[in-house]
Amino acid sequence: MAAPDDLEQLVQPGQVLAGKYRIERILGKGGMGVVVAAHHLQLDEKVAIKFLLPAAVARADLLARFEREARAAVKIKSEHVARVIDVGVLESGSPFMVMEYLEGMDLSARIASDGRLSVVQTADWVLQACEAIVEAHALGIVHRDLKPANLFVTRGADGLESIKVLDFGISKSSAMSGSGASDMTQTQSMLGSPFYMSPEQMQSARTVDMRTDIWSLGCIIYQCVT
């Protein structure tokens, strides 16, 4: 978790980032980064901005992971992936990513709030996630961290709830480099969330393919309906 001083220097309501994004409030924070709600001054549009904290900027692997997340999200055009609108670097050296602002809660929070979901609701939401993931797979991108916390339940202009897949930060891609797989994961590294990881991902995150995401979706379905 970042020290309070770090957050106060980076995130203050009313502060303007990159000359056009006025911070409104913190939406979430962790050991590596912060997500804030902001207002695009020129477009008069509410957005979400994700950026790394100073301690994370000093780590090359976390910088690479942040860049990988932005590139993956931009390539996938599905309506069920949170859109990336802009990227840049703050004066502090921290990279930032501007995304569409989503109203709602993640599926993990929804399950905690509502309890067991119906089979019909579960099937609808997981199929929406599948639309995003099948497009990612067609582009050679394997998410590797599908879990309820990375499926966001939001409400559209039509009033209907839908799913947005979040956080491609540890995705594996064979489409983002000129040759071979763009994956900096060491063979014995464990990346992902153990409760939702396939056995082969636990053994080697580097060598998994799209089938590991299918396993994770199965785990999500089981949790939703039970």
pLDDT tens for 65-90 read 788 778 877 888 899 998 888 888 88
Q: Are 43 and 85 in contact (CB under 8 A)?
A: no
Residues 220 and 226: their CA atoms lie apart, in Å, by 10
Look at 217 and 3; give whichever has higher pLDDT. 217
SS3 40: strand
Residues 96 and 34: their CA atoms lie apart, in Å, by 10
- In the structure, what pLDDT confidence band is assigned to residue 221 with cuts at 50, 70 and 90? very high
Q: Mean pLDDT throughout 115-119?
A: 96
| pLDDT score recorded for residue 138 | 92
- What's the predicted TM-score (pTM) here? 0.79
Query: What is the per-residue pLDDT across 163-205, written as a single tens digit (0 to 9) for each?
Result: 999 887 655 655 444 433 344 444 344 455 788 988 888 887 7
- In the structure, what pLDDT confidence band is assigned to residue 49 with cuts at 50, 70 and 90? very high
Question: DSSP alpha helices (H): ranges in 34-183?
Answer: 54-57, 60-75, 107-114, 119-138
User: Which of 7-16, 116-125, 160-169 shows the lowest per-residue confidence on average (mean pLDDT)?
Assistant: 7-16
Q: Are 31 and 2 in contact (CB under 8 A)?
A: yes
Rounded alpha-carbon distances, angstroms, from residue 167 to 6, 38, 97, 204:
23, 19, 12, 20
- Active site (catalytic) residues: 145
Nearest to 86 by CA among 154, 54, 38: 38
